[in-house]
Structure 1
């Protein structure tokens, strides 16, 4: 497995050109690019430019609308439901979070559910939009059914990520950004590219037996909920995933459970949909709606300091604050470039040739 370091700007220029070829406006192409590059910068390689060809394939299947009329279809002073018009979730989710922030600025908190959208990248991007305004940000989305609930072998839920982001003072924000499955599907894709086995507890085969094969989903297997199995608390991951599905889709009118359309273009959406597209849920809460903002930040700094200095089992290892590794990745990669696995670089170059844009790099 070989990596090629590419500068942030070169990756941005390339990604923007692909979205433009899809027919996106300058504004939407810039925003969609920013969401994907943020993922790569923060070390979440499974949700960055490696996903770009997937969006293109969905666009070619006319399942992504490059020029959506994203709009509010239901609203109260503190809540709203947004119809994404089958647009890129990379564009629709930030639109919805802006509405949540605007409502929070006026009323203290804002909550927006979204229907008729698509894959929205990393949940952390959207939650961090609120942090920039000294707010607590919340974002979540449902996803293609790849996860079996506890005691089942049937794929009924997505990896259904959720993110909570909190503004700190002298420290970076605390960002709890995680899938509610034992592992995100992107982790399996990384293992597939590297031709490596995956850890026990991530997937089960079609008979409900544990497997280390990263290709298990292709033969009818399923991802496991957070907690892996019934003996290790999988019912808790199942419950969290169910919460994301209900808030993102049952509340908004999007598809939920096994009816969520697949991200991969070669699989057709269910013929009996219960809603429209994929669903998201976004929220923003003003910190000063509870106490003075600086007081909160000062106390969160104390919280972070105490946890960073916790006594550890291994003296060479420290307790990690949620969001800390991603922040470190972002600082380092902005300086030294973003490492992209050669398989993904080749995939992007093929995509460039297909769409008639300049290749990411010349590999000859």
Structure 2
């Protein structure tokens, strides 16, 4: 708000960052706040502008995000999709002129929480080399599908990047000075590497061609088509990691909400049966049971509740204090002295 953001938009941003940390997806939480504020500072993000519908039919809409905060644009779009799904069974919304929207789960959950299947995906800065390619042309485009069940804990919430890992995981190995697993990264000439000092680009999900990396490459391409091309904003190699007021991110997102009861009235019951069958499958290692998508986040949320709050490292808290001082706001106060390692 100290940068002129409307209170409700600032609250939306805060809720999205907190939700990511609550679910254990720290890459999309408060650690990204500094970058977001810098984008507002330089005018690449315009939280004083308002998203608007450019075209729509009973089932679809095309939205101009007006370069507002990504979560503001994301919620605006998914709420339109939900409204349409309540009226005609499905709502599909694609937008342009947005910014990084953070954790895809936050938008799919809006549909999931009213009993619908929710879907969200976005394009992203080019840092993934295509199969057989030397230079990055596509981003590690995130995607999420949330499908409700009869019982909340049986629902599937599938959130993933379409590269093998995102760059934050590469950074963790760099901090520890460890060798990278195969299939994660490529050198500046596109060759697979496990040498952290040579890691320059990401590889698509699966890694190299001999390990079916072309499937991940096509998965990334699918998201790019549904977002950048369909949305009419920047796409592929034109999406840059750094931007300015003159050259904003102009990311594109796609969302849909689908009422499963319009197809199968017993959808949620069948979902419960399916997830129960998966969880009851004998594990090759008894101490690591078979999970379904969403279980790791559920475990983290349970731990947060038991701890009475989200844990951050001392380094994180120091960064938060510096940000608060810079923008003249009250810093976060730690509840106790229990920290994650830096």
Instruction: Please give the TM-score of this superposition, normalised by the length of structure 2.
Output: 0.92
Partner of 2:128: 147
Q: Deviations over 1:233-272 (max 9, x none)?
A: 111111110111111111111100011132xxxx34698x
Tell me by how many angstroms 1:210 deviates. Answer: 2.8
How far apart, CA to CA, are the structure 2 residues paired with 1:269 and 1:53? Answer: 15
Partner of 1:309: 280
Residue in structure 1 matching 2:11, options 30, 44, 49: 30
Partner of 2:231: 252
How far apart, CA to CA, are the structure 1 residues paired with 2:249 and 2:33? Answer: 23
Residue in structure 2 matching 1:320, options 291, 295, 300: 291
Aligned pairs (5 A) from 1:1-364: 20-172=1-153, 173-192=155-174, 196-212=178-194, 216=198, 221-262=200-241, 267-268=242-243, 277-292=250-265, 295-336=266-307, 337-361=309-333
* Shift in alpha-carbon separation, 1:325–1:280, aligned structure 2, 3 A: same
Aligned partner of residue 231 in structure 2, secondary structure: coil
Q: Please report the RMSD computed on the Cα atoms of aligned residues, expressed in angstroms.
A: 2.1
How far apart, CA to CA, are the structure 1 residues paired with 2:150 and 2:204? Answer: 34
How far apart, CA to CA, are the structure 2 residues paired with 1:297 and 1:29? Answer: 35
* Shift in alpha-carbon separation, 1:118–1:211, aligned structure 2, 3 A: same
Tell me by how many angstroms 1:214 deviates. Answer: 5.1
Report if aligned partners of 1:153, 1:222 keep a CA contact under 8 Å in 2.
no
Report if aligned partners of 2:317, 2:332 keep a CA contact under 8 Å in 1.
yes
Aligned partner of residue 97 in structure 1, secondary structure: helix
Aligned partner of residue 139 in structure 1, secondary structure: strand
* Shift in alpha-carbon separation, 1:279–1:335, aligned structure 2, 3 A: same
How far apart, CA to CA, are the structure 1 residues paired with 2:97 and 2:67? Answer: 5
Instruction: Please give the TM-score of this superposition, normalised by the length of structure 1.
Output: 0.86
Unaligned runs of 5+ in 2: 338-342
Tell me by how many angstroms 1:171 deviates. Answer: 4.1
Q: Deviations over 1:86-145 (max 9, x none)?
A: 111111001100000001100100000010000001111100100111100000000011
